[in-house]
Amino acid sequence: MKKAPSCLAKFLFDMEKTKWMTEAIELSKNNVNNGGGPFGAVIVRNNVIVGRGVNRVTVNCDPTAHAEVTAIREASKNLGTFDLSDCEIYTSCEPCPMCLGAIYWARLKTIYYGNTKVDAAKIGFDDQFIYDEIDRPINERSIPTKQILPEKAIEAFKLWDEKDDKIEY
Ligand SMILES: [Zn+2]
């Protein structure tokens, strides 16, 4: 008798998750037919989709137009906030390092993903090299990365540090 409600709650909970992930997967499939990459994502808040995104890298000539980043931009715009900590993201594939960073910056509370990064690598979307680069010391990375004008660059940080009416994020 006592078990029934919690089983029902879990069933309904899973139904919701299935529904949102199905939406992300549908976006990913439709996007292939619309000239984009096979990736889709939705952001959900209080059981409502607040942002959708698909991969538009080649279509928009925008290397940052991954599904998750696009969905975050849309959700933030729709909600009028940079803080999505009361939202969850459903993405058709495990996020790449760029999207993972964006998800952490947006403070999304949960990530649900469909395909793994191994699945993505098998069809030509291998992001392992970026994870490897992050682990390397800065002077050993494949893109030369050199510090110049630090004494000038720090001026903006001082202005920020001393600003009284800043919006911290
Ligand atoms: Zn990405």
This prediction's pTM: 0.91
More confident residue, 55 or 12: 55
Between the CA of 109 and the centroid of ligand 1 the distance, in Å, is: 18
Between the CA of 154 and the centroid of ligand 1 the distance, in Å, is: 30
Could you tell me which residues come within 8 angstroms of residue 130 by beta carbon, excluding any fewer than 6 positions away? 96, 97, 98
pLDDT of residue 156 exceeding 60: yes
Q: Which of the four pLDDT bands, split at 50, 70 and 90, describes residue 12?
A: confident
Q: What is the mean pLDDT of residues 13-39?
A: 95
Tell me the pLDDT tens digit for each residue of 94-134: 999 999 999 999 999 999 999 999 999 999 999 999 999 99
* Amino acid 7: pLDDT: 87
Between the CA of 66 and the centroid of ligand 1 the distance, in Å, is: 5
Long-range contacts of 83-88 (CB under 8 A, 24+ apart): 83/107, 83/169, 84/43, 84/45, 84/108, 85/109, 86/45, 86/46, 87/43, 87/44, 87/45, 87/50, 88/20, 88/43, 88/44, 88/45, 88/112
pLDDT of residue 4 exceeding 90: no
Among the listed residues 23, 26, 68, 74, the single catalytic one is 68
Q: Could you confirm whether 23 is annotated as catalytic?
A: no
Q: What is the mean pLDDT of residues 35-59?
A: 97
Residue 66 near residue 98, CB atoms below 8 Å? yes
Between the CA of 140 and the centroid of ligand 1 the distance, in Å, is: 24
Between the CA of 67 and the centroid of ligand 1 the distance, in Å, is: 7
Instruction: Kindly give the interhelix angle for 97-106 and 128-135, rounded to the nearest 10 degrees.
Output: 70
Q: What is the mean pLDDT of residues 35-46?
A: 97
Residue 66 near residue 55, CB atoms below 8 Å? yes
* Amino acid 93: pLDDT: 98
